[in-house]
Amino acid sequence: MSTETVKPENKPVRRVTTQSLRNMKAAGTPISMLTAYDYTSAQLLDGAGVDVLLVGDSASNVIAGHETTLPITLDHMIYHAQCVVRGTQRAFVVVDLPFGSYQGNSKKALASAIRIMKETGAHAVKLEGGKIEEDTIKRILSAGIPVMGHLGLTPQSINQFGSYKVRAQDAEEADQLREDALRLERIGCFAMVLEKIPGVLAREIAAKASIPIIGIGAGNGCDGQVLVMHDMLGLNNDFNPRFVRKYANLEEVIQTAVRQFIADVRSRDFPNENESY
């Protein structure tokens, strides 16, 4: 009798798809979503099992140091998305259409979305807005490009609203948000982000919608949750909104490690004999 060990086959990793996400909603399985902007972060998050990676225009804030998401360009977004896609095997990758790449011009929006899909290998785009962007969304969908909607607090509209306060707290705005959510579902968005709205309202919309509703600052009644990776890992301890749960304090870990490196260099402890050729 042979004693040869039979090694298990390495089964190929199955990519998350729009259908996977619909199935998760139907099964009541909450969807996890985090931002990613580079290859290494994407590898780590993908390896940990995150369902969706968002190449967010928040890169304008956390990577480039801008106060708002407005300055980031389509070329910047494409660069970040290329890095993220290369770092994933399983996660579904969504890319934000940045400010100025789609507003008020559905033809320009389609061209922007096509560039993202062709040049990055991403799986969908995301854009902000309801009724005002209906024609734009329809045109992008007509090219077979999946679209994720985004309602509630829409950071690209910061100059219109003047602050990042909770949206849809009054009846009129809440009714408009309900209407826009139904519209986005009806015209074909495969999923939707609801940002910084009352949890009761988000739960109501998620219960009525047939598509996955992903919340950020929208309570636990959504079909999934999204956070900025840098926020949940504690890479910026000066930013502490109520909706962020910090799962690590990497700012402290990194600074402690760097201080030790500096001390070892100063003392000539690094590199030692084993670290030299």
Query: Residue 266 has what pLDDT?
Result: 99
Query: Residue 59 has what pLDDT?
Result: 98
Query: Residue 9 has what pLDDT?
Result: 57
Q: Residue 95 pairs with which residues in a beta bridge?
A: 55, 125
The catalytically annotated residue of 128, 133, 185, 195 is 195
Euclidean distance between CA atoms 24 and 213, whole angstroms: 11
Per the annotation, the verdict on 195 as an active-site residue is yes
Query: Residue 1 has what pLDDT?
Result: 46
Name the stretches of the chain with pLDDT < 70: 1-11
Query: Structure pTM?
Result: 0.93
Reduced 3-state DSSP string for the chain = CCCCCCCCCCCCCCCCCHHHHHHHHHHCCCEEEEECCCHHHHHHHHHHCCCEEEECCCHHHHCCCCCCCCCCCHHHHHHHHHHHHHCCCCCEEEEECCCCCCCCCHHHHHHHHHHHHHHHCCCEEECCCCHHHHHHHHHHHHCCCCEEEEEECCHHHHHHHCCCCCCCCCHHHHHHHHHHHHHHHHHCCCEEEEECCCHHHHHHHHHHCCCCEEEECCCCCCCEEEECHHHHCCCCCCCCCCCCCCCCCHHHHHHHHHHHHHHHHHCCCCCCHHHCC
Query: Residue 4 has what pLDDT?
Result: 53
